[in-house]
Each structure stands twice: as C-alpha cells, then as structure tokens.
A = this chain, B = another copy of it.
Amino acid sequence: MSEDITLTLEEAESLSLTVLQHNGYSQAHAEAITRSVLAAQRDECHSHGLYRLIGCVSTAQNGGVDTHALPEIIDQAPSVVRVDAHRGCSLLSFEMGKKQLVEKANQTGIAALAINNCFHFSALWPEVEALSSEGLVGIAMTPTHAFVAPAGGNAPLLGTNPIAFSWPRPGETPYTFDFATSVVARGEIELHKRAGKMIPDDWAMDDKGEPTTDPAAALAGAMRTFGGYKGSALSTMIALLAGPLIGDVLGHETQAANAEKTGKPFHGELIIALSPKVFLGEHAAHHLQHAEVLFDSILGQGARLPSQRRFIAREHSLRHGVTLPKALVDELKALTH
C-alpha cells in the first residue's frame, strides 16, 4: 500500500519554488511554473501536478531549456501578440503575453497570442481559465511529440494535439474542457503495459500499421486520433494553427528541437480570446445568462459538464490542502539539496 501525505497549498507552493530555483530556474520562471503545477495539483490533475517538476528538473539538467530565458513580447498587430520564449518554458511567456492578449480582445473583439520557441509540458486549462476569469472566452491549442497517425495512415505524424476551451459563467465555475485529440492519453497505454493488460484494438496500431491490443506494440507504433477521420482533421487543424500559422514547428519536428532528445516538447502554442462584451455590447450579460440554459439542460439530463470533477476537487483542496504519494514528496525534497 502506498503511503500518502497531505500538504497545505502554501507548503506545496514552497516545495515547488524551492525545487525549481535550486535546480536553476529563475524566480520568474519558478513562480510561473509553480502557479501551473499547483493549480493542477489543487484540482487533482495528478499527472500535470507537482509530479511534472521532476521533468522540469531533468530538462533543465540536460540543458534543453533556458531556465533564465526572458520572454520577448512582440506587438505584432492590433489583434495579435507574439511572445518569443527564447527556449524558456511556455508558462512565463503566457503570463507575460496574457495582459496584451486581454487588452487586445477587449478592444477588437477577438485576439490571438502566439508563443514560439517554448518548452511546453503543462495542461492548457489553467490558461483558458485565466481568460474566462477575465470575462473572455478562451481557446488554446498546441502540438506535441508525434505519437499519432492520421486517419487512414499507418505511422506517427501528428502530435496528441490538445485543445482547451473555457467559457465564463456568471457566478459559477467556467465551462471548461481540455482534451488531447488522440483517442487516449499516451500514459493510459503505458499504464496498461505496466499492469500487463491488453488495450482495446481501436486505440493504436503497431509499427506495421496493423491494429494491436498489445500496449508495447502500440507504444512502438502509433496511436489513433479520437473520433476517426473527424478527430484526425481536427488534430491536423491544431497542427497547422499552432504550427505554421505562428511560424513554429509541426508535431513530427518537436523531438529534434532538443539535441539531447530528452527534454520536454519544444514547439509553439496558440491562444485565442473572444470578448462577449465587444461582440454584444450592452446585451452581453443577457446572452451569457442565456447560455446557462444549455448547461442546465445538460445537467438536467444527468450528464456532466467537462470539468465538474476538477472543480469539486478544487473546493476540497482549498479547504484541506493537497494529498500526494509520500514517495513523490520525498523525491521532490531530494531535489532541493
């Protein structure tokens, strides 16, 4: 039986900051990364929580990421702000670019933030929720390592290409989703392998492009997109928008960007913000209220809203702190000296 340990949010924050700064991250990067992994831990998204700090440290040690990179903000156009992360982690770039993104969206109605040359390892929902908390609608997407075959294809080409969306709800937690366009997370296949379990035959193909139920063969082959050719088209759209449109790489090029091939994915990210207030003027509040009919109807059918479980976990963590495996906390503490 694995032992757990509960930390207050302050303790978890302090541990994260210490791990990152002790391993070379500047204070600004350490704080931005900590805000993201702490939000994930608070919402019980364990795979994007404090666990990610281990990868941040190894990426820093392997020299793949510039732990002191100062993001450069480029006011590209009335509705476009670009941030060159200069090989730093994406999170500080997002936080620094967000201010202009919000200003532009509030002025022009719709605006985009493009982040280039960044290392990316975080969930997208904290970023779109940072926008919905300002009354904007947020959409974010990014490519990742090419683990996924296009529909009808037989080899890895597309990233797991996640997309996230957050809609501001008056007086409520936002409507937020954040999902990979692969049929499942790669970690899910790794878990099956570790447990010696077969996988469903529509998750992946082996290295000859044949359907497989063997997780090891799947990891050596290619995953499928969710939803067949429609998911594949959507994944391709994400590859294009968060790749060539913003002058950054395609999914199958992300690995090469780190010469050691050990670091976190290195690529771009696109975030779009839309302002209901600009679209609707004085009628915005009425129509935002009207959107509640849709959420009420979904819940009225006994269906869930995408992030409900996360918001319940958030409530709990804000009162009682976060609970992690003791082994993880010990591993993180070992990284502080």
Q: Which residues of B contact A177 (CB under 8 A)?
A: 230, 233, 236-237
Could you tell me if A301 and B237 are in contact, using CB atoms closer than 8 angstroms? no
Chain B minimum-CB-distance residue to A276: B245
With A79-B78, A230-B227, A301-B150: A112-B112 Cβ-Cβ less than 8 Å: no
Main secondary structure of the interface of A (DSSP, over half): mixed
Chain B minimum-CB-distance residue to A107: B78
Binds B, one of A10-18, A283-291, A311-319, A321-329: A283-291
Contacting residues of chain A (288-322) with chain B, CB-CB under 8 angstroms: 288, 290-291, 293-294, 297-298, 301-304, 306
Could you tell me if B229 and A227 are in contact, using CB atoms closer than 8 angstroms? no
A79 to chain B, nearest CB (A): 4
Q: How many copies does the complex hold?
A: 2
Contacting residues of chain A (248-292) with chain B, CB-CB under 8 angstroms: 250, 252, 272, 274, 276, 278-281, 283, 287-288, 290-291
Please tell me the size bucket of the interface on A. Answer: 35 or more
Contacting residues of chain A (134-148) with chain B, CB-CB under 8 angstroms: 137
Binds B, one of A25-33, A36-44, A151-159: A151-159
Q: Which residues of B contact A24 (CB under 8 A)?
A: none
With A244-B290, A294-B239: A112-B114 Cβ-Cβ less than 8 Å: no
Q: Could you tell me the distance between the alpha carbons of A110 and B237 in the complex, rounded to whole angstroms?
A: 16
Q: Which residues of B contact A232 (CB under 8 A)?
A: 303
What would be 10 A-B contacts, judged by CB atoms less than 8 Å apart? A76-B109, A79-B79, A108-B108, A137-B245, A153-B301, A153-B303, A175-B240, A227-B231, A245-B279, A247-B283
* Other contacts beyond A80-B109, A152-B304, A227-B231: 17, CB < 8 A: A77-B279, A79-B109, A79-B111, A110-B112, A112-B274, A114-B279, A137-B240, A151-B303, A175-B236, A177-B237, A179-B230, A226-B230, A234-B234, A236-B294, A244-B290, A245-B276, A250-B290
